[in-house]
């Protein structure tokens, strides 16, 4: 069964059991004048989307490796990578997708996925960054080319989100490698490629690192100390917003003012703004962050059914809900927006009754919510918030 990648603390050896997928018609509970309607359906698990403005189409990637195209009238299968991606674990599959910044000329699509493997045994397959050509309106799978790969010690915590930072520069999220309690100490190991956000340049044929270590050697690692950065975004002022999945106690939203300023977000010294407790002592009070650690601007605990943060994206001030970073919780289906007017606040928007695995934008900037059971819903706002 395909299921949510990176959104729950499904650690190897933890005894965690995935919940059942549930059907929902997305009835919103909110003070906002809004409703929820089906936008697209019949996916296994819609996981990420991009709007291809050159071809006036919305592309939605399914965790199972399929990518579908929708132009507002017609829908078709853009490509099927199911033979290339692993489905051995609920947290494996096609995880990220981004258009080449030079797509109009090179017709390249960047992809992030866990490489296919035989599921016998417990070995993990690497997280792969690849590109593929779009020819005559479809993916030419024979052109799929691996650009970089990262060995995974376990099958969970792969992250995998891809984001263009513009001008051929990209960010790539990489989880801590899996297992409870960061067993290999990848979070604070500067020599490990795991537990990080990578920064690279793509020229249409290959990638190259942009950063340099203190000894002058090049490195892909821009940010460290992330457990499972499940979606991140850059706002119009260059700020970076990261939804990082917690373990047993706290979910968090991280923010830094300049996206390309290297930062350490604390895992596994910290979970949220707390010293990390391997024994899952969620009663620990917040504490001052150690030197060199950037604590989250927002955290929430696992009370009232919350379990795992699902990151979204930056909403500008023309959006119906105002300016801020949108995110939700997988188990409760609640959705909030982080805003900073006089101080950092997480403002509740609505409950959805969905198992939220992601957010996206439609062809006309509609707000989309991806549901674990295979549907894409649109949130319809009947009145625009003028505040």
- Segment 140-161, tens digit of pLDDT: 999 999 999 999 999 999 999 9
Tokens of 272: 């949220």
pLDDT band for 7, please (50, 70, 90 cuts): very low
The predicted-structure confidence for 230-275, as pLDDT tens digits, reads as follows: 999 999 999 999 999 999 999 999 999 999 999 999 999 999 999 9
pLDDT score at 387? 47
Using CA atoms, how far apart are residues 386 and 364, in angstroms rounded to an integer?
20
pLDDT band for 341, please (50, 70, 90 cuts): confident
- If one counts every other C-beta atom within 10 angstroms of the C-beta of residue 193, the result is 18
Instruction: State the chain's mean pLDDT as an integer.
Output: 93
DSSP per position, 175-225: ---SSTT-TT--TT-TT-SSSEEEEEEE-SS-EEE-EE-TTS-EESEEEE-
pLDDT score at 122? 84
pLDDT score at 154? 94
Rg over CA atoms, the chain: 19
pLDDT of 167 higher than 80: yes
Which residues have a Cβ under 8 Å from the Cβ of 192 and sit 6 or more positions away? 177, 184, 186
pLDDT score at 91? 87
Pair type for strands 334-340 and 344-351: antiparallel
CB 156 within 8 A of CB 11: yes
pLDDT score at 8? 45
Q: Which domains, ranges and CATH numbers included, belong to the chain?
A: 34-381 (2.120.10.30)
pLDDT score at 16? 53
Tokens of 19: 């919940």
The predicted-structure confidence for 168-206, as pLDDT tens digits, reads as follows: 999 999 999 999 999 999 999 999 999 999 999 999 999
CA-wise closest residue to 175 among 297, 89, 46, 281: 89
């Amino acid at each position: 069964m395909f299921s949510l990648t990176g959104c729950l603390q499904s650690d190897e050896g933890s005894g965690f059991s995935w919940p059942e997928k549930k059907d929902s018609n997305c009835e919103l509970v909110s003070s906002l004048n809004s409703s929820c309607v089906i936008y697209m359906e019949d996916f296994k698990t819609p996981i990420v989307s991009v709007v291809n403005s050159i071809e006036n189409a919305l592309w939605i990637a399914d965790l199972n490796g399929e990518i579908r195209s929708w132009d507002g009238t017609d829908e078709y299968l853009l490509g099927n990578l199911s033979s290339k991606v692993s489905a051995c674990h609920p947290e494996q599959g096609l995880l990220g997708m981004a258009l080449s910044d030079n797509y109009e000329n090179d017709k390249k699509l960047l992809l992030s996925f866990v490489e296919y493997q035989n599921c016998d045994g417990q070995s993990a397959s690497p997280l792969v960054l690849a590109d593929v050509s779009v020819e005559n309106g479809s993916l030419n799978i024979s052109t799929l080319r691996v650009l970089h790969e990262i060995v995974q010690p376990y099958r969970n915590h792969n992250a995998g989100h891809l984001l263009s930072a513009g001008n051929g520069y990209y960010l790539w999220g990489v989880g801590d490698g899996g297992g409870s309690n960061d067993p290999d100490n990848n979070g604070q190991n500067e020599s490990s490629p795991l537990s990080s956000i990578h920064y690279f340049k793509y020229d249409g044929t290959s990638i190259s690192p942009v950063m340099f270590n203190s000894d002058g050697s090049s490195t892909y690692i821009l940010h460290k100390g992330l457990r499972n950065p499940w979606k991140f975004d850059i706002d119009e002022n260059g700020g970076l917003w990261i939804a990082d999945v917690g373990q047993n106690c706290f979910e968090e939203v991280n923010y830094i003012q300049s996206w390309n300023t290297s930062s350490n977000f604390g895992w596994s010294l910290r979970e949220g703004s707390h010293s990390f407790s391997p024994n899952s002592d969620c009663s620990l009070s917040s504490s001052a962050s150690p030197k060199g650690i950037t604590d989250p601007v927002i955290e929430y605990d696992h009370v009232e059914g919350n379990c795992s943060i699902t990151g979204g994206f930056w909403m500008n001030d023309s959006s119906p809900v105002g300016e801020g970073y949108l995110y939700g919780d997988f188990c409760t289906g609640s959705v909030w927006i982080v805003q900073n007017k006089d101080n950092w606040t997480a403002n509740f928007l609505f409950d959805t009754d969905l198992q939220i695995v992601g957010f996206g934008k439609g062809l006309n900037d509609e707000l989309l919510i991806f549901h674990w059971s295979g549907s894409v819903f649109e949130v319809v706002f009947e009145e625009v918030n003028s505040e």
